[in-house]
Structure 1
């Protein structure tokens, strides 16, 4: 489908949001990298139901996308992996409606197939010779990883901090590190390319995703409605997300 593209986080091209010739519209959706698979599927459904709309998907670190939108980068919808990133848009007064929680995700450990470093939990990351990766602290997945490590009072230091969760996953899949801290949904999407190790129950935090329109476009409102609808939620559940009502504020 030619209207939909996934691009790297730092390259928001100067698109004309919700505009076009002869009644056609471009709907620009800025979304957390961990939503790549689910939002790509939802964009296909949306375009089938709205043939006059081309959905442009821009994936990357939630915080970076929110900051770029606050600085004037084009976008009609923002979907973030935590409330902290969404608050950047709220504080900049660019969210046209109250953000809606729509999914929950959990942190897990992934290793290359066979788990060559014999990782058994978060404690293994501090062992000598173990190279592991996480997201940068500014990204929701990085903040979540730091929460998990703090709960374990771990002094483990990553060998690399990546811009988003897909970059961490790529390091693991490529065999460049012994382990990475990613979302459960990304581990599931990777299939047999990784092995998943559960973080210790007392240390494993969750994060709630939020979505908001960034303008008064009817198409943007319709896309948000799709995400929140039963069919949209089914797509998210099939990918491993949970309903946000299960989120414990104490997390």
Structure 2
């Protein structure tokens, strides 16, 4: 009888140990599948709106990249504010809520970095070169930068405070030319629109804008543009409301796919 009791107790002890082991294994399995620990968990999934302040010349290419980003990351939205880089920088330093800033020159990006409003160092992602845009058919036979100085020709430039205007000034200085435009526009799209509407005969804009306009304008290259190539930097902003999603968008811009889209738009590699 005593042997029987001891054998029974031994059996119960083994069964209890086995049950405990199964419970521990189940707990580990449950823990590994719980949200927050898996690499594909909902907590690590990108979501929400990312607000991008970008130079006007980036409108076409960034709109394309924004749509791709939203397709790749369901539940996200990319909201753009396109304009002159200087005015965008002023809005950011003035407290406007934004996640990303993509400027058309290092100088305008410096307006933001000098105020310590970026998170980390801005990275160059593209370059752009100037071109003359004329009305279709180029009726005034513009073939050089010097031709823009002829009397009676209505020429539009970007304001000197924005990158396309500063670049145009560099090109004119390199050619030792003086030009008085009929108007200064606040961004490159504004200058281009004047030609598209035939309110001006020509404008000094970017190659990318001439390409985007299609048959609405005619492009004329000029050698002095080599003296005024703009680097485009992009940065995550310090107080970005949606920093993780913003980082992913910047990564797309700098990726091989992003570079392909920018190249097709006429941008040069950084």
Please state how far the C-alpha of 1:201 moved relative to its aligned partner: 4.3
2:160 is aligned to: 137
CA offset digits 1:149-171 (Å, max 9, x no partner) = 11111111111000100001100
Higher relative helix content: 2
* Among candidates 24, 34, 52, match of residue 57 of structure 2: 34
Matched positions, count: 222
* Partner SS for 1:43: helix
Counting only pairs closer than 5 Å after superposition, residues 1-251 of structure 1 correspond to structure 2 as: 25-201=48-224, 204-215=227-238, 217-244=243-270
CA distance in 2, matches of 1:161, 1:99: 29
CA distance in 2, matches of 1:82, 1:232: 19
Higher-Rg member (1/2):
2
* Partner SS for 1:95: coil
CA distance in 1, matches of 2:148, 2:227: 14
* Partner SS for 1:73: coil
2:6 is aligned to: none
CA distance in 2, matches of 1:24, 1:236: 25
Please state how far the C-alpha of 1:200 moved relative to its aligned partner: 2.6
Please state how far the C-alpha of 1:44 moved relative to its aligned partner: 0.3
Please report the TM-score for the alignment, with normalisation by the length of structure 1.
0.86
Please state how far the C-alpha of 1:53 moved relative to its aligned partner: 1.5
Q: Which runs of 5+ in 1 are unaligned?
A: 1-22, 245-251
CA distance in 2, matches of 1:146, 1:104: 17
Instruction: Note if contact 1:149-1:203 (Cα within 8 Å) is conserved in structure 2.
Output: no
* Partner SS for 1:243: coil
- Stretches of 4+ moved more than 2 A in 1? 200-204
Please state how far the C-alpha of 1:52 moved relative to its aligned partner: 1.9
